[in-house]
Amino acid sequence: MTIETVVYPRPWSQRLFEDELERPARAYVVARDGEQVVGYGGVLMIADDGHIATVAVDPKRAREGIGRALLRELVRQAIEMGAKQLTLEVRVSNSAAAALYREFGFVPAGARKAYYADNGEDAIVMWAHDICDESYSARLSEIDEKVGPIERVGFAGESDQTERHVVRPFSHPSRQSPHPAAATRETS
């Protein structure tokens, strides 16, 4: 919850997170560095559309590849749940997140005026289509090389409908010690 309150002007409540984790057709991932949570993300399914609902990274850990690793895992989870395309919203002012999403094949498809309640900022709606095609698989392979190995750890008691994983990337090129890889809630 700490990252949520730092990153988002109108954070989700703990109850909302708990409710979301219990709902079907969702996948949530957490990035950890040791025991410290440094990021998380979630995707939900609507028919064969995957919607990236949230991606958040500890601001102190920005630019370490955690967001890329989280998004990579969310895409993988969405494909496993049957997604043929993905969508998300991003603040007009968040050019760094939009650039990351373009790396994953997301393109602007429209806008939602005054989407963000905290300041009335517009959202750019982005889509990535044909995510099951060979060309998209090749794109993901290139991203995998940037992300590096990821350790996936499931949670005891998870349902068949809801995936929950801890994602840990290893050996970031700019640091000697291992760092985590995970996802982002930049739909805010």
Q: Is 35 a catalytic residue?
A: no
- Terminal CA-CA length for the chain: 15
φ and ψ at residue 155, rounded to 5 degrees: -100, 140
Amino acid in the structure at residue 122: D
d(CA 29, CA 112): 26
- Residues whose CB is less than 8 angstroms from the CB of residue 28 and which lie 6 or more positions away in sequence, other chains included: 20, 21, 40, 41, 42, 162, 163, 164, 165
Instruction: Locate 57 and state its tokens.
Output: 């990274």
State the Cα angle at 84 between 135 and 20, rounded to 5°: 130
Q: Kindly name the residue from 89, 116, 163, 186 that is annotated as catalytic.
A: 89
DSSP 8-state symbol, 61: G
Give the ranges where 30-133 is alpha helix by DSSP (H).
66-80, 95-103
Q: Kindly name the residue from 28, 40, 101, 115 that is annotated as catalytic.
A: 101
State the Cα angle at 180 between 138 and 163, rounded to 5°: 70
Q: Is 101 a catalytic residue?
A: yes
**What residues are annotated to the active site?**
89, 101
